[in-house]
Amino acid sequence: MSQGSSHRPHSPRRVAVIVDEGTNPFEVGVATELFGLPRPELGLPGPLYEVLLCTPAREVRMNHGFFTMTGTHGLDAVDTADTLVVPGRPDTVVPRGAAILDAIRRTHARGARIMSLCTGSFALAEAGLLDGRRATTHWMWVDAFRELHPRVRLEPDVLFVDDGDILTASGSAAALDLGLHVVRRDHGAEVANAVSRRLVFAAHRDGGQRQFVERPVPRVPDESLGPLLAWAQERLGEPLTVGDLSERAAVSAATLHRRFRAQLGTTPLAWLTGERVALACRLIERGEERLDVVAARSGLGTAANLRARVRRETGLSPSAYRRRFGPVAEEALTG
């Protein structure tokens, strides 16, 4: 994974979102919700990002004409963006316009970050950006994508792929997963968790999209995991195990595993580990310097395990994470 940016809310990144004919409005909404809203609840001196909606024409019809967008920026506005977002369109086999492809190519050429949402990956591949690289797309269009772009290293079973300067989300809802991942990379776990709480969306959803592939809906849905998750989050520093979770839920370990897979797309152990790493990152951001204390309070046990887990999740060692997101870094940039 690529390392997060040192940009902070004091100097917001500029995000350009390309809106083309037929673009999915939900994905445009996801981008503006994640990156465009002010965040007064964070107590920050300014917005996290500045968002520009960019279109190839003065008027663009989205989603088969159900929505019309006007008053946007032209495609030349992408030349000032730190991040370019390319939402999907349902007509994946229809070539993108030359102006759209040129905007994507020149944004990549100058080193900006590029994100595609759902079938937006078709546009990135058509622009020649994905050959030989890892990417994902919606499961319904996997075969069509492979036929059109056989040189792309497609990963069809994941929610998103972070391949450094190019990131791809598998579906419209997975755009939220990718967006929160980017916020976490740019601004740390504390800010990402605050944004996820406002969205009422899990900050970490570690499963893949395989769980959504033509699966029949059960007549009686499983009981919500919400109360169990809340109970566990209050006890992350305790020697909590998957057995403890299944005992609390009054179900077998196998049943609990199935419920986690169905509702969260991950396993109980992976969820528990992810929550502990997120707590460890928050403790580091709040100024705790003793790794053994962070490891104990987050339930990761030892400083060695803490180092390995934090590096795996963030791409940074705990000390590097502290320099980037800790109180000293924050004071230096906002003081």
Query: What tokens appear for 169 in the block?
Result: 């989300």
Residues 135 and 124 sit within 8 Å (Cβ to Cβ): yes
| 131-173: pLDDT as tens digits | 999 999 998 999 999 999 999 999 888 888 999 899 999 888 8
pLDDT higher than 80, residue 12: no
> Does domain 228-331 bear CATH number 1.10.10.60?
yes
Task: Kindly report which listed range (39-48, 102-111, 137-146, 220-229) carries the lowest average pLDDT score.
Answer: 220-229
Alpha carbons 329 and 129: distance in angstroms, whole number: 34
**What pTM, to 2 d.p., does this model score?**
0.68
Class for domain 13-198, per CATH?
alpha beta
Listed by start position, the domains of the chain span 13-198, 228-331
Give the model's pLDDT for residue 235. 92
DSSP state of 73: B
Beta pairing class for 59-62 and 83-86: unpaired
Is residue 11 pLDDT above 80, yes or no? no
